[in-house]
């Protein structure tokens, strides 16, 4: 994150320090990848501008990654994997808006929930806006449909490379909301989850795919 944006996010997030933490932030993860589910109306109220075509739903799932990995439906070739990690490549931010209960939509993901104050939405909205290439009116430009759901892939001004991979973007987004995550320790999905469960961040597990499997076997 460039220094001017980091400073803006820090200033906006600092105003939230003395406010009660009542707004849910949901962290989702599979074995390798993480992302966030956020209250979309809350983000809009604090200045986030979604791309055209995103409906006014309750929730929006955000994730970040290499553009080819999101666009290409088949597995990446060894050369593409090497390019994604070793060479700067185009990236995207994915947004999927929905109204259903989160575990019903993301039943295949591990879900952890934390809380922030209402004012924390300003820093988070600033971060999300900065993750988008926007037109003259400030509306994000899109690459195409999302990899799942009825969402969109937003063109990003940033490049994807190791160590600035998808989970590091998740960590930066969380920090913009006032949480305290270490980027180096957040390279893996499990590294992000370990930090989420610490006392200083206070996330608690609200769903695990194994719960559904165990319930089905009873």
Burial class (CB in 10 A: 0-12, 13-18, 19+), 47: middle
Closest CA to 144 of 93, 98, 74: 93
Q: According to the model, what pLDDT value does residue 27 have?
A: 98
This prediction's pTM: 0.87
Are the CB atoms for 4 and 85 separated by under 8 Å?
Answer: no
Whether 141 shows a pLDDT value over 60: the answer reads: yes
Closest CA to 37 of 135, 134, 86, 105: 105
Q: CA–CA distance from 151 to each of 18, 31, 95, 123 (Å)?
A: 35, 22, 5, 23
**What angle separates helix 166-176 from helix 3-14, to the nearest 10 degrees?**
40
**Average pLDDT, rounded, for the chain:** 88
Please give the order of strands across the beta sheet that includes 204-207.
Answer: 142-145, 152-160, 89-98, 59-66, 34-39, 23-29, 110-116, 204-207
Whether 215 shows a pLDDT value over 90: the answer reads: no
Give pLDDT tens digits for 184-213: 999 999 999 999 999 999 999 999 999 976
Give pLDDT tens digits for 22-57: 999 999 999 999 999 999 999 999 999 999 999 999
Q: According to the model, what pLDDT value does residue 148 have?
A: 86
């Amino acid at each position: 994150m460039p220094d001017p944006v980091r400073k803006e996010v820090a200033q906006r997030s600092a105003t939230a320090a003395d406010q009660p933490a009542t707004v849910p932030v949901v962290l989702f993860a599979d074995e390798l990848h993480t992302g966030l589910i956020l209250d979309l109306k809350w983000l809009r109220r604090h200045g986030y501008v979604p791309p055209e075509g995103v409906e006014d739903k309750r929730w929006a799932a955000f994730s970040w990654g290499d553009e080819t990995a999101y666009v290409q439906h088949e597995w990446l070739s060894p050369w593409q994997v090497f390019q994604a990690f070793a060479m700067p490549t185009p990236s995207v931010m994915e947004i999927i808006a929905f109204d259903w209960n989160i575990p019903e939509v993301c039943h295949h993901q591990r879900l952890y929930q934390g809380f922030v104050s209402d004012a924390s939405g300003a820093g988070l909205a600033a971060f999300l806006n900065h993750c988008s290439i926007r037109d003259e009116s400030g509306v994000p430009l899109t690459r195409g449909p999302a990899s799942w759901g009825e969402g969109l892939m937003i063109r990003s001004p940033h490049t994807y490379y190791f160590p600035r991979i998808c989970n590091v973007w998740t960590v930066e987004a969380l920090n913009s909301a006032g949480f305290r995550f270490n980027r180096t320790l957040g390279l893996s999905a499990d590294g992000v989850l370990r930090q989420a469960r610490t006392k200083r961040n206070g996330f608690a597990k609200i769903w695990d795919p194994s719960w559904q499997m165990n319930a089905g076997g009873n």
